[in-house]
Copies of this chain bind each other. A is one copy, B any other.
Amino acid sequence: MCQHCNYGNLLTTAGLEATAHRLHVLEAIGDSTFPLSAVAIHQSVAGRRAINRVTVYRILDTLVEHGVVDRISTGGRAFNYGLAPNAHHQPHPHFYCTRCGRMCCLAPESLNVDTHPLWKTFPGRIDRIEVRVDGVCKNCLPLETQSRN
């Protein structure tokens, strides 16, 4: 739950019309402590008010394009979505459990990434850096050990 972000402001600051659907999508993402899949976002928003899943995809695309939301790769085929770094949120790595498919946020300082050499040497334009840790979460570890025996 982010209590610092005013989602309406985030939208208008990004030059976007703050429609009800958009607000609900942003709230679903912002109120979650971990990135969500498009399906989970759709389920969350649809629980409050009917919305077409195509609309969810369109809204997510728009929010990503305008830098309000980050589209995060998982080890699978679906993307997850989280609030993009802003004044209240630092960029941070994510952990993706290859067993249960859940993704969580890692503290920024848990993986120190020094990007200075890259900025000095890279001839193109850098837009964002995604750091993802794949493994097995602590909930799945016991099951993982079990299934190997």
A112 engages B117 (CB within 8 Å) = yes
0/1 per residue, A89-113, Cβ < 8 Å to B? 0000001011000000010011111
A130 engages B132 (CB within 8 Å) = yes
Tell me how many chains of this kind the complex includes.
2
If A111-B117, A112-B117, A113-B113 touch, does A124 touch B134 (CB 8 Å cutoff)?
Answer: no
For residue A98, give the distance in angstroms from its CB to the closest CB of chain B. 7
B106 engages A110 (CB within 8 Å) = no
Which residue of B112, B138, B141 contacts A114 across the interface (Cβ within 8 Å)?
B112
Interface size class for chain A? 35 or more
0/1 per residue, A10-53, Cβ < 8 Å to B? 00000000000000000000000000000000000000000000
0/1 per residue, A121-137, Cβ < 8 Å to B? 11111111111111111
A134 engages B141 (CB within 8 Å) = no
Point out the residues of chain B lying under 8 angstroms from A118, CB to CB: 106, 110-111, 133
B75 engages A77 (CB within 8 Å) = no
B113 engages A131 (CB within 8 Å) = yes
B131 engages A129 (CB within 8 Å) = yes
A136 engages B131 (CB within 8 Å) = no
B114 engages A136 (CB within 8 Å) = no
A115 close to B (CB within 8 Å)? yes
Point out the residues of chain B lying under 8 angstroms from A111, CB to CB: 113-115, 117-118, 129
Point out the residues of chain B lying under 8 angstroms from A123, CB to CB: 138
